[in-house]
């Protein structure tokens, strides 16, 4: 196993009697690789628990474990929803300076209340929502509650005490703690943000550097959206494949930062549209098709359904490798044998989308008809025509993906075999 700079991994055992220059760590500690050292299989790493830096051998660490996709995982475990003031006071017992929670105001719907225990009493600060921002004192303004709590945890400012201890809502699990324990939390101090490289529906994507490694960072400022993206992130911790955009970790700072490998050539659809026929060879198109197919075959093997596969959600790396991204809608394939008639969330609906994606690839990024637009026509047997100059055997593959009966559509491994034989014969 080789580790890139910035990768976080887990110590397999203890190394307490470290020689000079070697790193001391305990089993389970999260170590961040700084760089590969002079000798083969030897790395410089930082122990995230102690902050110390030293040498480790590549065999002394392992991959991080995937995070469980758990709805109780919360970015705001201190948020208790609509509860009354007296209820908040009860929850903040026994009194302890800096113990706090946030509730939704019952009297002023839409506003929040920060409740803090100080000198044996509970103080309730009304948080006003004004011009898309939150404020307690009309002096400090915040994009969201996470941002606000972060600020008052470090600065007393106009409140009576800094927030030192969150009172967690019953059943809520702190996402920060779980991410940190599993080794997926990254250090905001080690990240340098660069240019804006994309706008998504819910967040802005920046190029960045994390300990020397080029990365992409999606920043989600709205706390409700960030909470939803947490589930996507948990799915991504399970995925490791050369054709799936890889999650490197998460930073919690003024919202959620999702750090992934940088795909310098942007989305596949833009790649094809801006270059076109004269630049992108047919073999390259086949390679893209195969790349996506292999990524999807891996997803299928994990019993996961992407549900939003399209050329806009495939990104292209510096080396022109296509990788599937956007796992926001990804769900477990719930097609069990006795439920085989419910095709909505099965791999076979991804296969349909893959057929459309093939069409997008071989038409150099043309806009396909949307499923909604042609729903009735499709049900009556209508299918998109072959893209210009598309070899018949490839169009045949698309048509197989668009078989009306999901079970008659090939799986991704079958599709890969067919594509590979096509690639060999070019
Ligand atoms: P998204 O919000 O994931 O749809 O991303 C919006 C846009 O940001 C994409 O269309 C890409 O152009 C860009 N983008 C997203 N993720 C990455 C990445 N890992 N590397 C490079 N560009 C990206």
- The pLDDT tens digits for 145-162 are 998 999 999 999 999 999
> Which residues line the pocket of ligand 1, CB cutoff 6 A?
197-198, 200, 203, 205, 216, 218, 245, 260, 262-263, 266-267, 315, 325-326
318 inside domain: yes
The atom number, within ligand 1, closest to the CA of 202 reads: 2
pLDDT value, residue 338: 45
Domain limit, last residue, from 261, 292, 327:
261
pTM for the model stands at: 0.88
pLDDT value, residue 227: 87
Domain limit, last residue, from 261, 294, 327:
261
Residue nearest to atom 6 of ligand 1 (CA): 200
Cα of 216 vs centre of ligand 1, distance in Å, is 8
Cα of 87 vs centre of ligand 1, distance in Å, is 44
pLDDT tens, per residue, the chain with 426 residues? 678 888 899 999 999 877 889 999 999 999 999 987 667 889 999 998 898 999 999 999 999 999 988 889 999 999 999 999 999 999 999 999 999 999 999 888 888 999 999 999 999 999 998 888 999 999 999 988 998 999 999 999 999 999 999 999 999 999 999 999 999 999 999 999 999 999 988 889 999 999 888 999 999 988 888 888 888 899 899 999 999 999 999 998 878 999 999 999 999 999 999 998 999 999 999 999 999 999 999 999 999 999 999 999 999 999 999 999 988 777 776 554 444 444 467 899 999 999 999 999 999 999 997 666 677 788 888 899 999 999 999 999 999 999 999 999 999 999 999 999 876 565
pLDDT value, residue 262: 97
204 inside domain: yes
Which domain, by its residues, includes 226? 185-261
Percent of the chain with pLDDT over 90: 70
Distance CA 168, CA 77 (A): 5
The atom number, within ligand 1, closest to the CA of 326 reads: 3
Cα of 196 vs centre of ligand 1, distance in Å, is 10
Domains in the chain: how many in total? 4
Ligand 1: residue of 206, 261, 266, 314 to mutate (most ligand atoms within 8 A of CB) is 266
377 inside domain: yes
**Domain CATH for 158:** 3.30.505.10
pLDDT value, residue 37: 63
Provide the token pair at 72: 């109780």
Residue ranges for the known binding site for ATP are 218
Regarding whether 392 and 292 lie in a shared domain, the answer is yes
Strand partners, 128: 135
Regarding whether 86 and 53 lie in a shared domain, the answer is no
120 inside domain: yes
Cα of 246 vs centre of ligand 1, distance in Å, is 12
**Domain CATH for 26:** 2.30.30.40
Regarding whether 86 and 195 lie in a shared domain, the answer is no
173 inside domain: no
Ligand 1: residue of 200, 204, 208, 320 to mutate (most ligand atoms within 8 A of CB) is 200
Burial class (CB in 10 A: 0-12, 13-18, 19+), 23: buried
52 inside domain: yes
Residue ranges for the known binding site are 218
Please identify every residue annotated as catalytic.
308
């Amino acid at each position: 196993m080789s580790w890139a700079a910035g990768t976080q991994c887990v110590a397999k055992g203890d190394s307490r009697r470290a020689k000079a220059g070697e790193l001391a760590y305990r089993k389970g500690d999260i170590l961040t690789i700084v760089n590969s050292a002079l000798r083969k299989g030897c790395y410089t790493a930082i122990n995230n628990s102690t902050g110390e830096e030293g040498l480790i051998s590549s065999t002394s660490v392992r991959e991080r474990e995937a995070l469980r996709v758990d709805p109780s995982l919360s970015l705001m475990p201190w948020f208790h929803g609509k509860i009354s003031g007296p209820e908040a006071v009860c929850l903040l017992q026994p009194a302890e300076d800096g113990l706090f929670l946030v509730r939704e105001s019952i009297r002023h719907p839409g506003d929040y209340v920060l409740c803090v225990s100080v000198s044996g009493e509970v103080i309730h600060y009304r948080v006003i929502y004004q011009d898309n921002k939150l404020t307690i004192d009309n002096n400090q303004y915040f994009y969201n509650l996470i941002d606000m709590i972060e600020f008052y945890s470090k600065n007393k400012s106009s409140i009576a005490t800094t927030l030192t201890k969150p009172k967690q809502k019953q059943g809520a699990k702190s996402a920060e703690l779980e991410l940190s324990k599993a080794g997926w939390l990254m250090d905001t101090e080690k990240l340098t943000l660069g240019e804006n490289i994309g706008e998504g529906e819910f967040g802005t994507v920046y190029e960045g550097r994390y300990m020397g490694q080029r990365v992409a960072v999606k920043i989600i400022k709205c706390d409700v959206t960030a909470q939803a993206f947490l589930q996507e992130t948990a799915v991504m911790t399970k995925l490791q494949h050369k054709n799936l955009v890889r999650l490197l970790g998460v930073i919690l700072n003024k919202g959620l930062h999702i750090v992934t490998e940088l795909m310098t050539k942007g989305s596949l659809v833009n790649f094809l549209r801006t270059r076109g026929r004269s630049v992108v060879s047919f073999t390259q198109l086949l390679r893209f098709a195969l790349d996506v197919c292999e990524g999807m075959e891996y997803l299928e093997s994990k019993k996961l359904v992407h549900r939003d596969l399209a050329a806009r959600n495939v990104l292209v790396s510096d080396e022109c490798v296509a990788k599937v991204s956007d796992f926001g809608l990804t769900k477990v394939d719930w097609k069990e044998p006795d439920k085989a008639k419910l095709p909505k969330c099965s791999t076979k609906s991804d296969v349909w989308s893959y057929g459309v994606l093939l069409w997008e690839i071989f038409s150099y990024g043309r806009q396909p008809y949307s499923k909604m637009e042609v729903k009735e026509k499709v049900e009556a047997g209508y299918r998109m025509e072959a893209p210009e100059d598309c070899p018949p055997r490839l169009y045949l593959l698309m048509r197989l993906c668009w078989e009306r009966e999901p079970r008659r559509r090939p799986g991704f491994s079958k599709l890969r075999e067919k594509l590979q034989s096509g690639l060999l014969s070019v």
